Each structure stands twice: as C-alpha cells, then as structure tokens.
Chains A and B, each alone.
Chain A
Amino acid sequence: MSARLRAADVAVGTELPEQTHRVTRADLVRYAGASGDLNPIHWSDRVATSVGLPGVIAHGMLTMGLAARTVTDWAGDPGAVVEYQVRFGRPVVVPDDDTGAEVTVRGKVGAVLDGGRVRVDLTVTSGGEKVLSLARATVALA
C-alpha cells in the first residue's frame, strides 16, 4: 500500500517520478468499452482517415487518465486530486501493430497553495511532441 505524501515534503520545483505508458489498439478497445466512448476514430482507420486524421488516435480521455497516474502514484491517494484539467493539443496516433504508441508523463510542483494543497504541472509527450497542454492538477496532501 502506498503512503500518503505530506505537504511538508514538497516545494515548488519538486519533480514527480516520470512514467512512460505504452498504448496499443487493444488498450483503445478496452478504454472504449470501459468509458462508453465508442467513437470509431479510436478503432477504425477507415473512419479516422475519412475525417482527416492520420489514422486511429487514442481517446484524449485515455491520455488524460494515464497522465493522472503520475500524480496519484506520487500523492499516494487517488482521492487527493481535487482539480484536474488538460487541453488536448495533438492526437496520439496509435498504429495497428504490437508496439503501439508511447506516452511519457513528467510532473513538477508548480505552486504550493493554502491548506496543504499543491499544483502539479504535467508535461505529456508522445513521439517527442507535446500531446496535452495546460495539464495541471491540484492535489490535497496529508
């Protein structure tokens, strides 16, 4: 079991452990079913290319969900996230192979707020390009 992080242990600039996630077509199918988002741009190349995308793309909400783990694993309690927002800047294209795409998540404490809360700023990239922008979470630490 993870221990809850204490506000006294962090400061502006504290870096969160980096995480890299591999996303394959199977992950997209699993997320589609779990979330109820059955939009075919997340599983059909035919539909994705017909609307001008380079191919099947990951659900933005899947990328947002993966990125949250960097924060929740660090904080030690997923219930500590009181605010979480992202802007979907660029799609994560997921090829139809066994390798899929890689999503890398880095986080840094951007501000220490009142009441044991901190703001974490996330940098989320795939293939060297930023896929989320203005990605930040407010976390209530113990």
Chain B
Amino acid sequence: MALDAGLVGRSYPPSAVYEVGREKIVEFATAVGAADPVHTDPEAARALGHPDVLAPPTFAIVVTLGAADVVLADPDVALDYSRVVHGEQRFTHHRPIRAGDRLVSTTTIETVRSIGGNDLLTTRVDVATEDGSAVCTATSMLVARGTA
C-alpha cells in the first residue's frame, strides 16, 4: 500500500532525554573500530579543545534510531517493516556529540514517495540539548521494497 502523502510534515512529540555516557561512546567506537583516543580519553579530547570525549560521527544513529520508532509505531504509516531497508543516511553535526550531553530528539516526516513499486519514507530527526541548542540533524530514507 502506498504511503499517504498527507503524512509529509507530520512531527512527533520530543523524545525522552538521552544521556550520553562515556562507556556507551567507548562501546560504539569499539564496534566501528574507531581507535582514536578522543573517544576514550578525556585528556586527549581536551587537547583538541573538546570538553569531554567525543562520539564517532555516526553515533547519532544510536540516539535517533529509538526516537524514529515513533514513526514506525504510527498506525497511519502503513510500512511493512519486514520489507524495509535503509536507503540513505545523512548527518549534519552542528557540533560533535560528547559524553555528558543530555539530548532530546524531535522526529518529522520529510517526504513520502513511491518509485518503481517501492515506498520511500524520509524522516528528519533534530537532536538538541535539553535546553534547546542544536546538536545534530539526522535524515534517514527508508525503502519498503515492493509495497507501493
């Protein structure tokens, strides 16, 4: 079933706060093999002018993946999750995510399209600190194969 074009622009309530822990950064950096001490050693991070250890550039997916579940849980979004693959991903970092950040994510449906029998759904997650300063914008395009 094709996705309803009326979903474009739909925005969901802000997520619960995600607190970025040093150990979670270490775990994620290890999983992508990122050995730079800036992910593990606060002194190394400070030497580069950062207040605490930095997350790798794709760590934002940990924060935004959970936040974007609100879209898949929306009964108006008729997406067969078993047919879904990740089509595109973009991160815009207004500043690096670092340990100690308390982040809130707000998810918006940006576009819906049907191309070649596939449904394409693009969501944007705006990640900000608890007090509203922008940290990262993550845009994901999901493809539901053969559903349109």
A27 to B57, CA, bound (A): 19
How big is the A interface, by class?
35 or more
**Cβ of B127 < 8 Å from any Cβ of A?**
no
**Cβ of B54 < 8 Å from any Cβ of A?**
yes
B30-70 CB mask vs A (1 if < 8 Å, else 0) is 11111011110000100110100011111001100110000
How big is the B interface, by class?
35 or more
Most buried by A among B31, B38, B93: B31
In the complex the two chains form, is A79's CB within 8 Å of B32's CB?
no
**Cβ of B85 < 8 Å from any Cβ of A?**
yes
**Cβ of A61 < 8 Å from any Cβ of B?**
yes
Which residues of B line the A interface, CB within 8 A? 27-28, 30-34, 36-39, 44, 47-48, 50, 54-58, 61-62, 65-66, 82-83, 85-93, 95-96, 139
CB closest residue in chain A, given B38: A78
In the complex the two chains form, is A36's CB within 8 Å of B66's CB?
yes
The 4 closest A-B pairs by CB, nearest first: A65-B32, A85-B90, A34-B31, A79-B96
